[in-house]
Amino acid sequence: MNDIVELWKSLKIQWRVIYALMMREIITRYGRENLGFLWVFLEPALFTGGIAFLWSYVSFRFYERAEFSLAAFVLTGWIAGKLWMITAGKTMAGVEANTALFYHRNIKPIDLMISRIILELCGVTGAFIVVSLFFIFIEVITPPVNYSYLTLGWYLMAWFAFNLAIFIASLDIMTDLVRKVWPIFSLTLFISSGTFYLVQWLPDSVKPYALLLPTVHNIEMIRYGYWGPVFTPYFDASYSFLFNLFFMLIALTLQRISIKKLEID
């Protein structure tokens, strides 16, 4: 019983710390005036919205056989990919830039990481919703067909983003090499993750390799939820789930190891 009380107390403190860090970052980034907090969603929304428009004109010829609107293709692929890319990248940078905060003993690296992860996940998810609504409103795309697949795919992608963010941010504490490899790694993963293709377009010999990536499953799931059976989706939610579970175990273990390596100037 006492243990539970203690745990509850420390969870409350941890949430207080994470909340304080989130507020600090929001005010730092967006200021206290004007649209303030709204920019958390609007910034990625404007960015991805712009990309989506540009892309739908430029690549029209390439995708014109498709049974769905190009905007829908960009929207689902691009923003879902950005979900993990932005989250992981900004979490890594956020820990590095704020090591001086560890002078406050109740701030641990994991708090900084979680505060960033929550912010970025909210931001990109908000952007997804804002851009979706806008595209639906101007009738470039039709509303999602199946919300359960859409939500499940998005959720699994967010979980993947969480794991990846903890993983690379922890690795970054241990070695500077991560920072150099990250742009190459993230871009490669982004390109291979189904942002620019459907698995059904791939040759049969390549499909199994693409489906090794949980991100491919997630994007297929999201698209299936959005468009319904206008294409043949390839995904296995349990594969993505188990991958995430295993990945989370590794990421959190690495995080614990990295704390020992942390030196504060």
Positions in the binding site for other proteins (CB under 8 A): 13, 16-17, 19-20, 23-24, 27-28, 32, 100-107, 260, 262-264
Q: How far apart are CA 123 and CA 7, in angstroms?
A: 30
* Smallest separation (angstroms) from other proteins to the CB of 3: 20
- We find the least distance from the C-beta atom of residue 29 to other proteins, in angstroms, to be 9
Name which of 21 and 74 has its Cβ closer to other proteins: 21
Q: How many CB atoms lie within 10 A of CB 264?
A: 8
> Among residues 27 and 245, whose Cβ is nearest to other proteins?
27
96 Cβ partners below 8 Å, 6+ apart?
A: 172, 179
Question: What is the phi/psi pair of residue 105, to 5°?
Answer: -65, -25
Q: Based on CB atoms, which residue is closest to other proteins, 15 or 201? A: 15
In terms of Cβ atoms closer than 10 Å to its own Cβ (0-12, 13-18, 19+), residue 231 is middle
Q: What is the distance, to the nearest Å, from the Cα of residue 22 to the centroid of all Cα atoms in its chain?
A: 17
Q: Least distance (Å) from other proteins to the CB of residue 258? A: 12
The residue (of 103 and 137) whose beta carbon lies closer to other proteins is 103
Shortest reach from residue 85's CB to other proteins, in Å: 25
Residue 17 or 210: which CB sits closer to other proteins?
A: 17
> Least distance from C-beta 31 to other proteins, angstroms?
8
Looking at the Cβ atoms of 125 and 255, the one nearer to other proteins is 255
Which H or E element spans position 209?
A: helix 207-210
Residue 80 or 119 with smaller CB distance to other proteins: 119
Rounded Cα distance between 174 and 172, Å, is 5
Q: Under a CB-based contact definition with an 8 Å cutoff, are residues 170 and 252 in contact?
A: no
Residues 6+ apart with CB under 8 A from 114: 18
Cβ proximity to other proteins, 18 vs 222, nearer residue: 18
Q: Which two tokens stand for residue 155?
A: 């959720």
CB of 2 to other proteins, least distance (A): 19
C-alpha span between 223 and 195 (Å, rounded)? 10
Rounded CA separation 21/8 (Å): 20
Q: Which of 84, 123, 79 is CA-nearest to residue 226?
A: 79
Closest approach of other proteins to the CB of residue 21, in Å: 8
Shortest distance, CB of residue 163 to other proteins, whole angstroms?
26
